[in-house]
Amino acid sequence: MLFDPSRDQVRRFFLDVWRKTQTQVPMSPMELMAQEWMLLHPEYHGLFADEDKAMTKDFSVEDGQTNPFLPYFLDNRTYNLSITQNIKEHIILQLYSNQSEHRNKLNCY
């Protein structure tokens, strides 16, 4: 499923993943992929922990701030997550199809 999330949806997704990471709540495969990338960036962990600030803060290059939610940081990862999810779904469907074909061949004999 490819999607085009809004700024708030992207931020909410990653902040939910961060909250689940901190509280050790089970996550979906897509959330686990996001968690991996988030853990690689400890410089943003404080921001992820402050959900109100993370949801509302506008980052200014002029002020020397790095925006962890820029398209090259999270939105591209969101896109990559959706592609990865599509690939996994395709593989699962292909495996299911192959198993069904195999069962049909066995039933013929």
Specify whether the CB–CB gap between 87 and 30 falls below 8 A: no
The radius of gyration of the chain's CA atoms, rounded to the nearest angstrom, is: 19
Confidence of residue 2 (pLDDT cuts 50, 70, 90): very low
Is the pLDDT at 94 greater than 80? The verdict is no
Nearest alpha carbon to residue 14 among 85, 43, 33: 33
Per-residue pLDDT tens for 76-86? Answer: 555 555 656 66
pLDDT band at residue 8, thresholds of 50, 70 and 90?
Answer: confident
Q: How distant, in Å, are the alpha carbons of 20, 27, 52, 64, 99 from that of 56?
A: 20, 25, 6, 18, 49
Encoded tokens for 75: 């939105």
Residue with tokens 């400890």: 42
Tell me, letter by letter, the H, E, C secondary structure of 44-99.
Answer: HHHHHHCHHHHHHCCCCHHHCCCCCCCHHHHHHHHHHHHHHHHHHHHHHHHHHHHH
Over the stretch 42-79, which tens digit does the pLDDT of each residue have? 988 999 999 999 999 988 878 887 777 664 344 455 55
